[in-house]
Structures are given as structure tokens and as C-alpha cells.
Amino acid sequence: MTRSNQPDPSASGHGNSGADWGVHAEWRWAGQTCHWRVLGDRASPALVLVHGFAAGSGHWRRNAAVLAAAGWRVYGLDLIGFGASSQPALWLDNRLWARQLRAFIEQVVQVPVVLVGHSLGGLVALSCAVFFPNLVRAVVAAPLPDPSLMLPPAGSHPRRRPWLRRLRRWLVNLLCRLLPLELLVPLLAHSPLLDLGIQSAYRTGVIGDGELHRVIAKPARRPGAVRALRAMSIAMALRPQAATAPALLKRLSQPLLLIWGLEDRLVPVLVAEQVGRLRPDLPLELIEGSGHCPHDEHPDAFNSLLLQWLAQLPGCGPAAIPGR
């Protein structure tokens, strides 16, 4: 495992806002190339932004500069399989991405961090906080998706027999390998259907937002997109119960803030209510008029809620650093 040198955020050629925010670099982990970026003063406390499914670190285009201006050193990491990182046929699930995030914090950031995750990134952030608690000071999930949150609580139904688990594994592998992803992914990535898919994650109209389209379309058009999607589909479907959100929430010891779009059609507020039943102590902030991407759709409200919550955490933010 190797890491790249820390880039200088004042270097020319990179903007502080828009999808190209920050100074970009590459880092090698487990034989894979991982793209990342950074913005903010080296002496500031570290905050890592973790994108959602089908996106990349550029999706934080309306948040990174505001957070850096508020006194944070803001990192964005492209998870393996997404963004500009490698797209291998590995076992891609939240456990692997949590290990990637752990290595990134240890080798690149080199100090404990606050993790802010959108959708799948929220699940990855939660996983990293549970598995490697000494590296994570607090977590924000906006929102927190997991199909297991829509199922009856663990223990309310009998455990599957071994032969049923083997049969399920065989069926999942078969179905995922039979899906004609080699036809479907390019069709979606190069047609107006992609814009319709993006629109389903937003409450306000985003068709015609060329920058947002590029953030989603560019990774989907890369040669490895199909194999990474198939690998992820199999791995996420076959995770052990201990790697699902309900089990992780029970083990979490760090502060966690949930932010939800009130009109999220992909991960509806019903899921947030289930999280509340599992962990009634967790604060939940709802953003009116927002769909599945509150950080991008209503960035002013999102950034304000995030910074207010972080300011309340003892010893966690810029105020804890002498001279700030």
C-alpha cells in the first residue's frame, strides 16, 4: 500500500467550487487507484465527504468550499468502483469501502476525521465508524439507505437454514450474472434515460444541469463500469447481517446526525422512522422540498444544519484549535 503526497490546496489549475473543486490526487490501495481531492488549510480539522451510488466526489460541488471556509480541511474520496477510482470486479460492499476509507484516513489524512456521507456513502461512513472507531470522531448520513431497514427487526423471523442460505447465494449470483448489464449500462449512460434517472433523485428540476450530468455520466461510461456494478450488486445482496445498517447502528458509539430530504422518493422518510426506532437518541433533520440529494438540491440548508451540529460537538471542530 502506498499513498500520494499531500497536495497544496493553493495550487493553480483547480477551483474551489463546482464539480472540479479542490486539488486532485491519486493514491494506491490494495492494488487499486483511488482518486481523491482536498480543500482547506492543513492545520484545520479533517472532514471527509463520501459520495453516494453512481456519483463521485464531484457531487459535493456545493458543499466543499463552504465547509473549508468555515474552518475545515475538506477531503473527498472516490470509492472503488465509482468516480475516477478503479472499477474492478472485486467483492464491492460497505465492508470493503470501509476498509478503503480506513486506509485513506490512516495513510493520507493521518488524523481522526468527521465523516459525511450521502446515501451509500452514509452507510460506508457508518460502517467505518463502527469497524474503526479510533479514526472517526463523528458521522453524518444524508440519508442512510439499506434495504434491511425496511425488513422486520432481526430476531422477529427464524434464521435461514444453511441450505437456504446457499440457495440464496446461488440465485443471487445467477440472476446478477444473467442481467444484460453490458447492454443496459451503456444504453442508460448514453441516452436521455440517464437524465430521467438523475431527476428521480431530485424534487426540483435538474434536467439540463450539464455539470451534474457529467458527474454521473462520466464514471458510467468508463470500461469497468459494468463489471463493478455487477460485483457490487452481488456483494451488497449477500452481506452478512452484521454488515447491515440495523446491526451497525446498535454498535455505533460516536455521534451521528441524520439529514433527510422530506420528499425523498428513493429512500423515503419511512426509513428514517425505522432508524429512529432502532436508535431514538439520534438527531434527525428534515429538509423541506428536497429529494434524495439534500446536499446538492438545498445546499444552503444542508451546510447550515451540518455546521451547526458540528459546532455543538465538544472538541470536534475548528473552535477546538488554538488561534481559531
Q: For the whole model, what pTM was predicted? A: 0.88
User: pLDDT at residue 62 above 50?
Assistant: yes
User: What is the per-residue pLDDT across 240-266, written as a single tens digit (0 to 9) for each?
Assistant: 999 999 999 999 999 999 999 999 999
User: How many domains, in total, are found in the chain?
Assistant: 1
According to the model, what pLDDT value does residue 315 have?
75
pLDDT for 91: 87
Is residue 124 one of the residues assigned to a domain? yes
User: Measured between alpha carbons, how far is 103 from 131 in angstroms, rounded to an integer?
Assistant: 12
Give the pLDDT band (50/70/90) at residue 36. Answer: very high
Is the residue at 219 inside a domain? no
Name the residue range of residue 257's domain.
Answer: 23-157+241-320
Residue 83 lies in a domain: yes
DSSP single-letter state for residue 15? B
DSSP assigned state of 7:
P
Question: In the β-sheet with 256-261, what is the strand arrangement from edge to edge?
Answer: 23-29, 32-39, 73-77, 46-50, 113-117, 136-141, 256-261, 284-287
Are residues 318 and 71 in contact, defined by beta-carbon separation less than 8 angstroms?
yes
Q: At what angle do helices 225-237 and 162-178 cross, to 10 degrees?
A: 160
Q: Cell 446538492 belongs to which residue?
A: 296
Q: Is residue 214 part of a domain?
A: no
Instruction: Identify whether 180 is part of a domain.
Output: no
pLDDT value at position 232?
84
Give me the phi and psi of 139, to 5 degrees please.
-135, 140
Q: Looking at the domain assignment, is residue 211 inside a domain?
A: no
163: in domain: no
Give the CATH number of the domain where residue 51 resides. Answer: 3.40.50.1820
- Are the CB atoms for 1 and 29 separated by under 8 Å? yes
Domain-embedded: residue 55: yes
CA separation for the pair 206, 89 (Å, rounded): 32
CA 204 to chain centroid, in Å, comes to 22
Q: What local confidence, expressed as pLDDT, does residue 320 receive?
A: 53
SS3 at position 272: helix
Q: Mind listing the pLDDT tens digit for each residue in 288-308?
A: 999 999 999 999 999 999 999
145-181: b or e for each residue (b if 16 or more CB lie within 10 Å)?
bbebbeeeeeeeeeeeeeeeeeeeeeebeeebeeeeb
| pLDDT for position 238 | 87
| pLDDT computed for residue 32 by the predictor | 97
